[in-house]
A and B are shown apart, each in its own frame.
With several copies, the nearest count.
Chain A
Amino acid sequence: MDVTIRVQEADFSLADEYALLAGRAEVGAVVAFVGLVRDVPGRLAGMTLEHYPGMTEKQLGMIVAQAGERWPLSAVTVVHRVGELKLSEQIVLLLVASAHRDAAFAASQFIMDFLKNEAPFWKKETTGEGAAWVEAKDSDAAALLRWSRE
């Protein structure tokens, strides 16, 4: 399994990252996820993303490795941005390439669920009234339950 993990201030290109994964003979399915700065109607001006350098890369590497143990994956790319982001800008890119569609979909959701709970990123939203740290959602923690093995 080829793994690419990057944390960066610069924007990323879905097309460029996809081109690096899709050409392999054994790949039958690629699932991509892009998270973007969404407008809460009329309210949001942008956001700042902080992270814990070192731990971020380590946690993302562990999450991707766990996905690779559960499903047959050819390649996984995770790119997460930090710093200042404006409305509609891209935040995170995940690409999962596999021989099989179901494996690619399941691994993608697994990686995003764990990223949301265990990768040390924090969002601070900027609105007309100032800046405020985003509170974690209970639903993100609850999403991990679906991956617990019996």
Chain B
Amino acid sequence: MASMTIRVLYFARLRDVLRTSEETLALPEGATLADLVALLVARGGDWATEFGGARVFRAAINQDMASLAEVIPADAEVALFPPVTGG
């Protein structure tokens, strides 16, 4: 299957815990947010803790809020972050 490249951004508490603000990943074309999350959980450690189901997080694809079932387009900007607390 052809692969695509995406950027993944981390914000706020997630960026602090994971000590990562941005990375570039290769995913199979047609991959969903759930597939990306499974890949991150497989890293173990804090990644498994944060994305394995014990903690709540939010995701955006190309700067729109997105659910786990959504397919990630090629060259997408995906962001993972804690529930927002502005206002």
Q: Do A and B bind each other?
A: yes
Choice from A52, A59, A115 contacting B87 with Cβ under 8 Å: A115
Within 8 A of B (CB), among A112-138: 112, 115-124, 133-136
Q: Place the interface of chain A in its size category.
A: 20 to 34
Q: A115-B87, A135-B85 are in contact. Are A120 and B13 (CB under 8 A)?
A: no
Instruction: Determine whether the beta carbon of A119 is less than 8 Å from that of B84.
Output: yes
Q: How far is the CA of A21 from the CA of B82 in the complex (A)?
A: 33
> Does B45 sit within 8 A of A, measured CB to CB?
no
Within 8 A of A (CB), among B1-21: 9, 11-13, 16
Q: How far is the CA of A67 from the CA of B63 in the complex (A)?
A: 20
Q: A52-B81, A122-B11, A133-B12 are in contact. Are A115 and B60 (CB under 8 A)?
A: no
Choice from B60, B63, B81 contacting A122 with Cβ under 8 Å: B81
> Does B79 sit within 8 A of A, measured CB to CB?
yes
Choice from B63, B82, B87 contacting A112 with Cβ under 8 Å: B87
Q: How far is the CA of A58 from the CA of B64 in the complex (A)?
A: 8
Main secondary structure of the interface of A (DSSP, over half): mixed
Q: How far is the CA of A58 from the CA of B60 in the complex (A)?
A: 12
Q: How far is the CA of A52 from the CA of B9 in the complex (A)?
A: 9
Choice from B16, B56, B60, B85 contacting A121 with Cβ under 8 Å: B85
Residue numbers in B under 8 Å from A35 (CB-CB): 87
> Does A54 sit within 8 A of B, measured CB to CB?
yes
Residue numbers in A under 8 Å from B65 (CB-CB): 59, 118
Instruction: Determine whether the beta carbon of A121 is less than 8 Å from that of B84.
Output: yes
Residue numbers in B under 8 Å from A92 (CB-CB): 86-87
Instruction: Determine whether the beta carbon of B63 is less than 8 Å from that of A136.
Output: no
Instruction: Determine whether the beta carbon of B82 is less than 8 Å from that of A121.
Output: no
Binary contact readout B24-68 vs A (1 if CB under 8 angstroms, 0 otherwise): 000000000000000000000000000000001000100111000
A residues neighboring B (CB under 8 Å):
35, 49-52, 54-55, 58-59, 80, 91-92, 101, 112, 115-124, 133-136, 141
A–B Cβ pairs within 8 angstroms, 9 of them: A49-B86, A55-B63, A112-B87, A115-B87, A116-B86, A118-B84, A120-B79, A122-B13, A136-B83
